[in-house]
Amino acid sequence: MIQNALSTAFNTAVSYDDYLSASQKHADGWRAIDDRVAITTQQQELLGSFTRDMRVLVISGSWCGDCVRQGPPLAAIAQACAHIDLRFIDRDHADSPIEHFIINAGSRVPVAIFMAEDGELVSSLGDKTISYYRWVAAQQLGPACPLPGAPIPEDVLASITQDWLDECERVQLLLRLSPRLRGVHGD
């Protein structure tokens, strides 16, 4: 059942640019983060070493502040790697598989769903990476709390990008070591 839902959602989902084009009202916030995301030479080399194709479906909301902070790093990673097919689907779209990815009893976004080349579910990660949770916890549980919508520091954005890259690498290694896929690829 989930396999069919993921296949339908992935085929319905759109590229990052098309996702933002469909929501001009919110696209500027996303583009402002795009301009700040940097993929380092070391990260580019790692992404260049990927050999297995992977599908990444992001359940998102263009209005969502967490999505604005999490989506652009994923888009930059996918742009730097020919083996990552990244697509976005709105949480409220009829084909969204959000009901299969409830987090802490809620339809939280973003959720990134990592799949093998044949659509098999491999992993999911949502709604924030560990670096972002650490930063938010330090702000909210410590002596100071930032104003809603406060800018995200460069080091936190770099850490979020690294968190997403780490998950992409983990999935890539899982795919490379999969006996099922090693049989398919003869390696």
CATH code of the domain containing 73: 3.40.30.10
More confident residue, 58 or 135: 58
The rounded Cα 76 to chain-centroid distance in angstroms is 10
Per-residue pLDDT at 144 = 57
Query: Alpha-carbon distance 54 to 32, whole Å?
Result: 27
Across the range 70-81, mean pLDDT stands at 98
Mean of pLDDT over the chain: 94
Query: Alpha-carbon distance 144 to 101, whole Å?
Result: 32
Give 95's contacts (C-beta < 8 A, 6+ positions apart). Answer: 5, 8, 9, 12, 89
Angle formed at CA 24 by CA 72 and CA 128, multiple of 5 degrees: 30
Per-residue pLDDT of 1-46, as tens digits, reads: 799 999 999 999 999 999 999 999 999 999 999 999 999 999 999 9
Using CB atoms within 10 A of its CB, is residue 119 exposed (0-12), middle (13-18) or buried (19+)? Answer: middle
Number of domains in the chain: 1
Query: What is the span of the domain harbouring residue 81?
Result: 2-185
Give 32's contacts (C-beta < 8 A, 6+ positions apart). Answer: none
pLDDT surpassing 80 at residue 104: yes
Largest CA distance in the chain: 56
pLDDT surpassing 70 at residue 145: no
